[in-house]
């Protein structure tokens, strides 16, 4: 088995995709007006409006209602990423902080309220874990 993507359901796909393109520096690939993906070397972040969800059944997901998932990106320099995010609409939950497990982490919310963590392993143990 291979984990390949996570999909964010949104009522404003253009706004959300634009935010993640700017935050990650990666361009999205648009497949339809209702579906786009941003590919990283290890996984894809997909975006969808509610319209394609009808293919799976009614009322299976609610846009902007995430209360339990954190979308995480390993970045080269958390502090630099924090500075780059200053011009984007986001809500910082935690300024760059070194966590007990050895990652320097920035936690913020995207325009739909999803939690996003940009982190950089900084201790030898954390770096070793991230190389696996």
Are the beta carbons of 34 and 45 closer than 8 angstroms? no
With a cut of 80, say whether residue 71 has pLDDT above it: yes
Q: Given CATH 3.10.180.10, say whether it is the number of domain 1-55.
A: yes
- Report how far residue 69's alpha carbon sits from residue 11's, in angstroms, rounded to the nearest whole number: 18
- Report how far residue 70's alpha carbon sits from residue 129's, in angstroms, rounded to the nearest whole number: 19
Q: How much of the chain exceeds pLDDT 70, in percent?
A: 95
With a cut of 70, say whether residue 58 has pLDDT above it: no
pLDDT grade for 57, boundaries at 50, 70 and 90: low
Closest CA to 16 of 5, 4, 30: 30
Domain edges within the chain: 1-55, 66-132
Are the beta carbons of 97 and 105 closer than 8 angstroms? yes
Write down the architecture of domain 66-132 according to CATH.
Roll (3.10)
pLDDT digits (tens, 9 = 90+) for 86-114: 888 778 899 999 999 999 999 999 999 99
DSSP string for residues in 42-93: S-EEEEE-SGGGGGT-TT---TT--SS-EEEEE-S-HHHHHHHHTTSS-EEE
| Burial tier of 125 (Cβ tally within 10 Å: 0-12, 13-18, 19+) | exposed
pLDDT digits (tens, 9 = 90+) for 42-51: 999 999 998 8
- Report how far residue 17's alpha carbon sits from residue 9's, in angstroms, rounded to the nearest whole number: 11
pTM of the model: 0.88
């Amino acid at each position: 088995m291979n984990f390949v993507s996570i999909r964010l359901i949104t009522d404003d796909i253009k706004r959300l995709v634009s935010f993640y393109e700017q935050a990650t520096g990666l361009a999205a690939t648009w497949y339809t007006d209702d579906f786009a993906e941003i590919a990283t070397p290890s996984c894809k972040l997909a975006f969808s409006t509610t319209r394609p969800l009808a293919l799976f059944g009614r009322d299976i997901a609610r846009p902007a209602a995430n209360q339990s998932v954190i979308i995480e990106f390993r970045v080269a320099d958390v502090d630099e990423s924090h500075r780059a995010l200053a011009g984007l609409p986001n809500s910082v939950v935690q300024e760059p902080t070194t966590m007990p497990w050895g990652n320097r982490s920035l936690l913020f919310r995207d325009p739909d309220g999803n939690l996003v963590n940009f982190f950089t392993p900084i201790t030898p143990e954390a770096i070793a874990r991230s190389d696996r």
